[in-house]
């Protein structure tokens, strides 16, 4: 197992412990909110629940710090290779330097680290316009509210951007209302849930099956939804998912990718370095180098780092265009429209990669 795989495995352990800690804190917040919102409660029962949760949080916190300590030791043990051979300082000069600074600023703005961005701009001399910072400030304020389980700012944002969200076919607004409804069910507020169901009526055409499940959960308000077949509806993971979904939709409306370009670049570099390091001697000799900046081997970065904005036909060896779009055959292979026409014989096309025959009319155009 290479160093990257070992580090990834250890990081997953750290992340798992952190999620356990976050879940415990979330449960504690729920207990506190329940006491604040309802005075006619069994105080002794809630006090015992709080004590139990605090004990669990203490254990989770200790385990988390232990896993972080082990992770640091694994880093020191595994990352012993000298990768200075692969660095090119010329790439970080001139205009490229400004682009790198922009990527760093955008990365930390996405995370809401505004103070860090200000300090970086001050030290690097990079000019960051206020108009580019403002959308990220708003985004992080809403995400911060979602993490506190306050849905109102996000719902207001959806209302202001409803036409654009509908055009994208987004389910964000429904998912936010869904969480509001589930919160009422969890609090055993039958009257409130029935009243809120009227708001959900606007989503019947697009989310019929999910609405049927939500209405079915009403049957278990009195007995407790956590002991029913609908217990998955109150999974705390839904709150993390809604934060990710909101970030994705907000970034899309701003013309940005959901993931930080800097994160993607670092991730790709971490995956590529082991393969490049294994052929280090060959690269130093430059025996297999062709054009400048061309890699002497193919590096598999996995599906998460595959982006196809362009398509080159494997038959005609030409880039597809609007007048010659890529076409998907029934077997799943893709060729250009011109190649499809050339291969068509008696209204039949035999796939050049597999024996399956299909009709040209059955081919579907691919959009990137």
Q: What is the pLDDT of residues 256-279, one digit of tens each?
A: 877 888 888 888 887 887 777 777
pLDDT value at 286 more than 70: no
Strand partners, 30: none
Euclidean distance between the first and the last CA atom of the chain, given in angstroms as a whole number? 36
The stretch 110-127 carries a mean pLDDT of 84
What is the share, in percent, of the chain residues with pLDDT greater than 70? 89
Q: What is the pLDDT of residues 66-98, one digit of tens each?
A: 889 888 888 888 776 666 666 666 777 777 888
What is the share, in percent, of the chain residues with pLDDT greater than 90? 12
Residue-level pLDDT at 291? 45
The stretch 122-147 carries a mean pLDDT of 85
The structure tokens 């292979």 sit at: 333
Of 11-20, 40-49, 68-77, the range with the lowest mean pLDDT is: 40-49
Residue-level pLDDT at 1? 45
pLDDT value at 361 more than 70: yes
The stretch 155-180 carries a mean pLDDT of 91
Residue-level pLDDT at 132? 77
Residue-level pLDDT at 181? 93
pLDDT band at residue 285 under the 50/70/90 scheme = low
pLDDT value at 200 more than 70: yes
Residue-level pLDDT at 177? 94
How far is CA 126 from each of CA 97, 144, 260, 265, rounded to the nearest angstrom? Answer: 10, 27, 19, 21
Residue-level pLDDT at 174? 93
pLDDT value at 308 more than 80: no
Residue-level pLDDT at 39? 62
DSSP 108-140: HHHTT-HHHHHHHHHHH-----HHHHHHHHHHH
pLDDT value at 293 more than 70: no
Listed in sequence order, the residues at least 6 apart from 94 whose beta carbon sits closer than 8 Å to its beta carbon are none
Residue-level pLDDT at 85? 64
List the structure tokens of 165. 């969200």
The stretch 104-114 carries a mean pLDDT of 84
Determine the Cα–Cα distance for residues 114 and 118; give it in Å rounded to an integer: 6
The structure tokens 């082990």 sit at: 70
- Give the three-state DSSP class for 348: strand
Q: Where are the alpha helices (DSSP H) in the chain?
A: 3-37, 43-78, 95-110, 114-124, 130-147, 152-160, 162-168, 172-186, 190-200, 208-216, 237-253, 261-278, 280-285, 337-343
Residue-level pLDDT at 40? 65
Determine the Cα–Cα distance for residues 59 and 15; give it in Å rounded to an integer: 15
The structure tokens 């669990």 sit at: 56
Residue-level pLDDT at 290? 45
pTM: 0.56
């Amino acid at each position: 197992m290479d160093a990257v795989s070992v580090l990834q495995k250890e990081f997953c352990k750290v992340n798992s412990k952190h999620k356990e800690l976050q879940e415990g804190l979330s449960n504690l917040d729920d207990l506190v909110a329940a006491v604040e919102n309802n005075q006619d409660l069994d105080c002794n029962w809630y006090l015992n629940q709080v004590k139990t949760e605090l004990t669990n949080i203490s254990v989770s916190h200790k385990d988390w710090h232990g896993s972080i300590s082990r992770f640091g030791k694994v880093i020191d043990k595994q990352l012993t290779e000298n990768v200075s051979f692969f660095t090119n300082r010329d790439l970080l000069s001139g205009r490229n330097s400004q682009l790198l600074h922009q990527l760093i600023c955008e990365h930390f703005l996405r995370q809401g680290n505004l103070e860090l961005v200000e300090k970086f701009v001050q030290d690097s001399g990079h000019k960051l316009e206020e108009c580019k910072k403002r959308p990220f400030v708003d985004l992080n304020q809403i995400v911060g509210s979602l993490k506190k389980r306050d849905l109102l700012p996000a719902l207001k944002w959806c209302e202001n951007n409803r036409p654009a969200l509908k055009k994208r076919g987004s389910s964000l607004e429904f998912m936010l209302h869904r969480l509001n409804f589930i919160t009422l069910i969890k609090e055993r507020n039958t009257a409130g849930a029935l009243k809120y169901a009227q708001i959900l009526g606007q989503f019947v055409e697009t989310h019929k099956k999910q609405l049927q499940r939500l209405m079915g959960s009403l049957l278990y308000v009195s007995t407790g939804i956590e002991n029913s077949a609908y217990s998955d509806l109150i999974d705390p993971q839904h709150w993390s998912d809604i934060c990710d979904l909101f970030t994705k939709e907000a970034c899309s409306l701003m013309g940005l990718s959901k993931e930080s370009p800097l994160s993607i670049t670092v991730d790709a570099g971490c995956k590529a370095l082991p393969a490049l390091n294994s052929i280090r001697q060959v690269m130093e000799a430059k025996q297999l180098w062709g054009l400048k900046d061309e890699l002497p081997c193919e590096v598999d970065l996995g599906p998460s780092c595959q982006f196809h904005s362009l398509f080159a036909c494997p038959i005609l060896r030409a880039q597809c265009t609007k007048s010659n779009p890529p076409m998907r055959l029934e077997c799943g292979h893709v060729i250009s429209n011109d190649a499809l026409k050339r291969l068509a014989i008696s209204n039949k096309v035999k796939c050049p990669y597999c024996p399956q025959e299909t009709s040209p009319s059955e081919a579907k155009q691919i959009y990137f």
